Amino acid sequence: MTLATLSLGVKSRLADLTMTLDLGEVTAICGPNGAGKSTLLASLAGLLAPDAGHVALGGQPMAGLRPDVRARTIGYLPQMPEVAWDLSVEVLVSLGRLPWHGVPGSEAQAAIDDAIAAMDLEAFRHRRVSQLSGGERARSLMARVLATGPSWLLADEPLASLDLAHAASLVACFRKQAQLGRGVVLVLHDLAMAMNHADRVIVLDRGRLAADGAPELALGADVVARVWGCPARWVGEPGARALSVG
């Protein structure tokens, strides 16, 4: 089941983007501030109506899909998610099962438990959201997405609030989800994370596609210099590269 855009355009934010994403891969969307990364991700999730072109899921236009089908298939974590009520972590994660209304309770509970375990939240299961740190809250919201069991995981800056250990753990979780056959699409500002852990990198610049391909090509020093406007070079071995700027 592919996730694709055809000549996608969102006024003043995206222009003429055509791409096809495949299951089983971790794709990183990178680019400077204001490049259109979050707009592209929200469009892929079916949350923005484009001004031109369209998004298709499995060859079907996103606009024609029933909301429950879309919600079961695509899990989306925005950059600054809000929690309206002071729920416990377990109840918050259980909200990820809402699109599956009518599925046996035992199956739903297993999905909730698996998501809590994947995000290392067992010790916080009964803690209220208001009592969580920023990183704990971010992991709880990611667990809610995982509990849905979607075919596609779309996350906007999911590592931003996490300490080093939990960021590494979440990256490993995304890799595992891709190995299980899910499509993972991440907006990342950390170019080293994208270089070392993505299968594919899409680089946006002022709403247009600047590069698309394997990380070593899409994030080559020439691309970084052209898109981000600063000289840079990669150091280290494949899988453990660091970016030296200036």
- Please write the tens of the pLDDT for every residue from 160-179: 888 899 899 899 999 999 99
Per-residue tokens: 78: 């925005």
| Per-domain residue ranges of the chain | 3-84+149-245
Q: How far apart are CA 29 and CA 96, in angstroms?
A: 24
Q: What is the pLDDT of residue 83?
A: 86
* DSSP of 55-91: EEETTEEGGGS-HHHHHHHEEEE-SS----S--BHHH
- Report which secondary-structure segment, H or E, holds 187: strand 183-187
Percent of the chain with pLDDT strictly greater than 70: 100
Counting as low any pLDDT under 50, the low residues of the chain are none
pLDDT at 122: 96
pLDDT for the residue 84: 84
pTM for the full predicted model: 0.93
In this predicted structure, what is the pLDDT of residue 106? Answer: 81
The top-level CATH class assigned to 3-84+149-245 is: alpha beta
> What local confidence, expressed as pLDDT, does residue 15 receive?
95
